[in-house]
Structure 1
Amino acid sequence: MAADPLTLPVDDEAQAALAAHGLRMELLDPGDDAQVRAWMEADSRGFHDAAPDDATIELVSGDFAGSRTVAVRDDSLTDPRVPVGTITSWPAAMTVPGGEVTGWAISGVTVAPTHRRRGIARAMVDAELRAAVAAELPVAILTVSEATIYTRYGFGPAAWTAALEVQAKRAGWLGAETPGRVQLVERATAMETARELLPAARRATPGDVQVVGHRFDRLFGSRTDEPELRRRRFVRYDDEDGVPRGLAVYVVGEEDPADFTSHVVEVRHLATTTDDAYRALWRYLLELDLVRTVRAPLRSTDEPLRWLVRDQRAIRTTELREHLWVRVLDPVAAFSARTYGASGRLALRVTDPAGYADGSFVIHATEGFAPRVARAGAGSDVPTLELPVDLLGSLYLGGVSAVTLARAGRITEVTPGAALAADRLLRGSEPPLLATWF
C-alpha cells in the first residue's frame, strides 16, 4: 500500500549519514511560525535573496501544510535555529503526452556555504526520492539553478524553454483575424479566470506542471506592496460565445526615459486553450502603442509566433535552456501513463545505480492508445536501446531525439535502428514545455 509522503517520518538512512558529520535532519512543523521563518530565511540565503519580510512569509507559509519540508540543523552553532540545509517537496500533476502523472516536485534545495562537502544535499535529495518511491509516485521532477548537479541523482533534462525578444513594430502582423474579443480585466477577475484556464492549458502541454499556492498568487501580483507587482496588467481573450480562452499577464516599463515610444513589455505569463486565443493575445501585445520591444521568457522552442509575423528576424531567441528535469522511479508506471505517436515495440535497458529503474522493460504501443509496458528481458526481435537513468528522464516526454543522443554517444543502439524506432514512438507533435518555475 502506498504511503502518504507528507506524513513519512525523517528518513533513517539520511539521518545516519548526516549524524556522521554532527548534523541532524528534522521535518518542519508548518504550524510553528518560528520554524517557518527560520526555514525561509535559510532558503532565501541559499539563493542569495533578501531575507523574507513578514508579508512574504505570510504569503508562502500556507504552502507548507501541503508539502514535506525538511531542515538540516547543526546544533553546535551559536544560533542553530536557521537550518544549514533546506528542501521541500509535494505531489504535483504533470502533463505527459496523452495524459498526466502525479510527480514528486522537489524545490528549495539549499546548503549553507559554511557546510558544503558534508553530504547534506545528497542526504536530502536521496531521502526525497525514497519518499516518492514509498508513495508509489512514478517520477520526481524539479527545476534547477545549476545544470551540473542533479544528473548524479538520476535526473535528466526533459523540457527546454526559449526566451524571446520581439522588435514589435518591425515584426509586422501576418496572422489571421480572430472572431472573439480581447479585453483588459482587473486582477481579481484575472485570478478567477486563471483558476480554470491555467489547468486547461496545462493539460494540453506535455511537461507543464500545475501551479498552486503562493506561486499562483505571485503570478498575479497579490503582493501589491511590491512596485513591480502593482504594475502588472491582465488581458483576456473570450471566444464568440464569451468563454475565456486565453490570458496574458504583462508589465510595461521604460527603456529610454527620453523616448516615450520605446517602452518594453515583459510578458510574465501567457496561457491559451485555443489557436484563436494565442493569435489574438500575441497581436494585442505586439501592437501596443508606444512599445518598441516585447520580451517573453519560458516560451516553447517551437513557438508558432514566428509564423505570425512578416519579419521573422524581428524575433530573437535570447536564451535557450533546459528547464524541467525528470527522474524516472517506476518505468512501467511512468511509460504506461502516456500515449505514443505510432504503433510498435521498444525495449529499454536502463542502468540506475540507485536501483529504482534498473533493468529492462518493453513498451508495446498502439498509436493513440494506452500501451502495455512490462519489465522483461529484451527479445531479439524488439528494437533495443541501452541508456542511463538520467537519459530515460530526458526521453520520457519526447523532448529530445533518441537519434541525437545515439549520435552523441550518450545511448547505445543494441539493435540497429532502435533510436529511430524510439523517436517514432516517443516524440510528440510539439516539444514539451514547463511555463513556470517551482
Structure 2
Amino acid sequence: MSFTEIRIDPQSAERMTKQGLRLQRVDTADRVAFEAWLQADARGFHGERIAGTQLEELVGQTAYRRTSGVWDDTAAEPETPIATVSSWPLAMTVPGDKQVPAWAISSVTVAPTHHRRGIARAMIEGELRTAAAQNLPLAVLTASEATLYGRYGFGPATQGAELTIQTRRAGWAGRETAGRVHLVSLQHIHRSGREILERAQLGSPGDVTLDEQLWGELVGVVGDEDNAKQNRAVRFDDADGVPQGFAIYSVKHSEGENTERVATVEYLCSVTDDAYAGLWQYLLGLDLVGSVSARLRPVDEPLLWLVANPRAVRAAAVNDHLWVRILDLKDALEARRYSAPGRIVLRVSDPLGFADGRVLLAVDDAGVGTITALESDIGVPDATAELTLGVSELGALYVGGVSAATLARAGRLTDVQPGSAIAFDAAFRSPTTPWLSTWF
C-alpha cells in the first residue's frame, strides 16, 4: 500500500466528528478537490492565490504527498477545507554520514474562524500516530511558530542565521583553492546539481532529502517566476573537473541613493572545503556589489575565518529551524554514530507515549550505539551516566545542535549522576554544526 493510501488516524477523526467536522484525506487525482486544498494552504500562510504555471507545478509535483484536511459542512464554502496538513517520508542526515528515515509534516494551517477547537492538535497527533504505525523512528518539521510544536514532543534540533557581509571591509584571507568557478544557468543546476546536493547533505546532520517540488523551488525554476528572472548560478569544479558545489544568488539595487548593489545568496552548497571557499570568494568579489546577504546559514559559519576582517560579517536573526520528534528510542538512537564511547542511561518522559521509557545507551569504541530497555527499578551500573529528560529535549539534542550541559543549566533536564551531561555531550557531539539548509 502506498503511504498516500494510509487511512486517517481514527482517534483524531473521531475527535473532529464530535465537533461536526470532517478530518479526511484528499484524493489528489481529483483536480477540483486538490486545488481547493492548495488554495486553503496558501491562504493559511497569507500567500497569494495560486494560479497559472505555479498551480500546475504544485498539482503535478506534490500530488504524491499524503494530503489531508478538515472540512466544515456548515461553512459558506464547504468544499474548501478550514485546516490543512501534508506529510511524506524522507531521509534526514545524522552524525556519522548516515541517514535515517523520517516522517515530514508540512502545510499545517487552521483558518482563523476555527481556532481554539483542538484542530491542530488532532491533525498533528494523528500524523505522529500514523508515522509510528509505519515504524518510522522520527517525525520532522520546520515551524513558522516557535511555541506550537514543543507541546507535541518536538524539539528545536538546528538553528539558522542570516549573514550580511560588507564586501569592501571584509577582504579575503582564505587560501587559494584548487579548482574553478563556472557561470551556469539555473536549468543547468536543476538538471545536474542534485547529485552535488545529495553528496553535500551526507556531511550535514539535520539536512533532509528534497522532493521534486522542493528541489525546483530551491533552484528557482518552479514557484515564484521572479526567481527565474533574477537568480543567477555558479558551479565550482575541483582540480580534476569534478563538480563539488554550486551557489544561487541575485543582485539588486540597494535602497536610497547608494548606487552599490546588494547580492543575496539564495543557496550555497559545497561538498569540499575548496568548493565552499571558492564559491564565497566569488560572491564576495562581485563587481558593483557593496554587501552580500545570505539567509538560513549555519550558526557556526566558517566564512568568519575566511575574511580578513570578521567584523565585516554580521549575523542576525538566529532562529530555530528544524524540529525533531523522537518516536522510537531504540531505532532513532541506534541510527546515528557517536563521538566518544560510554554508557548513558536515559529516562525519557513522553506524554503521548511513543518514546516514554528508560534505556541504556552503550557506545563502543567505533561510535556504534546499542540501546537496551531497562526496568524502572533496575539500578544504574557503576561508571554510567544518567539523565532524566523529556522527549522534546531529546529531540533537540539528537543531532548535536545543543549541549546537554546547556539544557541542564536551563533546568530542561536533570543530571542524575554528577558529570552525566558532560559524558552525554562527549558522545553526542557532532564534528559539523547541525544545519537544515532549506525549508519544507
Task: Sort the TM-score into its range (normalised by shorter chain).
Answer: over 0.9
Q: What is the SS of the residue equivalent to 1:104?
A: strand
Q: Distance in 2 between matches of 1:114 and 1:55?
A: 30
> Counterpart of 1:274 in structure 2: which amino acid?
T
Partner of 1:237: 236
Is there any run of 5+ residues in structure 1 with no aligned partner, and where?
Answer: none
Q: Distance in 2 between matches of 1:188 and 1:71?
A: 34
Distance of aligned partners of 1:372 and 1:120 in 2 relative to their CA distance in 1, 3 Å threshold: same
Identity, % of aligned positions: 47
Offset from partner CA, 1:267-297 (integer Å, 9 cap, x none): 1100000000000000000010100010001
Q: What is the SS of the residue equivalent to 1:65?
A: coil
Q: What is the SS of the residue equivalent to 2:158?
A: strand
Q: Distance in 1 between matches of 2:330 and 2:179?
A: 44
Q: Distance in 2 between matches of 1:163 and 1:100?
A: 27
Checking the alignment, whether the CA contact within 8 Å between 2:203 and 2:432 is kept in structure 1 is no
Q: What is the SS of the residue equivalent to 2:411?
A: coil
Partner of 2:404: 402
Shift of 1:47: 0.6
Partner of 1:161: 160
- Residues paired across the two proteins, number: 435
Q: Distance in 2 between matches of 1:225 and 1:339?
A: 39
Partner of 1:15: 13
Checking the alignment, whether the CA contact within 8 Å between 1:169 and 1:287 is kept in structure 2 is no
Q: What is the SS of the residue equivalent to 1:238?
A: strand
Distance of aligned partners of 1:256 and 1:79 in 2 relative to their CA distance in 1, 3 Å threshold: closer
- Which residue of 422, 425, 430 corresponds with 2:424? 422
User: Which of 141-150 and 180-189 deviates more?
Assistant: 180-189
Is there any run of 5+ residues in structure 2 with no aligned partner, and where?
Answer: none
Shift of 1:223: 3.9
Offset from partner CA, 1:114-145 (integer Å, 9 cap, x none): 00111110110011001100110000000000
Partner of 1:91: 89
Alignment of 1:363-374 (within 5 A): 363-374=361-372
Shift of 1:369: 3.5
User: Which of 35-44 and 273-282 deviates more?
Assistant: 35-44
Offset from partner CA, 1:377-409 (integer Å, 9 cap, x none): 462422100001100101110110100111111
Distance of aligned partners of 1:122 and 1:284 in 2 relative to their CA distance in 1, 3 Å threshold: same
User: Which of 334-343 and 181-190 deviates more?
Assistant: 181-190
Offset from partner CA, 1:172-212 (integer Å, 9 cap, x none): 00000012111100122111221200111111100001122
What TM-score, normalized by structure 2, do the two folds share?
0.96
Alignment of 1:304-315 (within 5 A): 304-315=302-313
Partner of 2:218: 219
- Which residue of 331, 342, 345 corresponds with 2:343? 345
Checking the alignment, whether the CA contact within 8 Å between 1:175 and 1:309 is kept in structure 2 is yes
Q: Does 1:432 align with 2:431?
A: no
Distance of aligned partners of 1:148 and 1:285 in 2 relative to their CA distance in 1, 3 Å threshold: same
Shift of 1:224: 8.3
Distance of aligned partners of 1:414 and 1:244 in 2 relative to their CA distance in 1, 3 Å threshold: same
Checking the alignment, whether the CA contact within 8 Å between 1:60 and 1:213 is kept in structure 2 is no
Partner of 1:44: 42
- Which residue of 386, 404, 429 corresponds with 2:388? 386
Offset from partner CA, 1:21-44 (integer Å, 9 cap, x none): 110111011111111111111111
> Counterpart of 1:353 in structure 2: which amino acid?
P
- Which residue of 351, 357, 374 corresponds with 2:355? 357
Q: Distance in 2 between matches of 1:256 and 1:78?
A: 44
Shift of 1:5: 3.6
Offset from partner CA, 1:309-346 (integer Å, 9 cap, x none): 11000000121011000000001000100000001111
Shift of 1:228: 3.4
Q: Distance in 2 between matches of 1:236 and 1:313?
A: 28
Shift of 1:367: 4.0
Q: Does 1:113 align with 2:115?
A: no
Shift of 1:239: 0.7
Partner of 1:286: 284
Tell me the C-alpha RMSD between the 2 structures. Answer: 1.4
Distance of aligned partners of 1:283 and 1:12 in 2 relative to their CA distance in 1, 3 Å threshold: same
User: Which of 106-115 and 407-416 deviates more?
Assistant: 407-416
Which consecutive aligned stretches of 4+ in structure 1 deviate over 3 angstroms post-superposition? 256-260
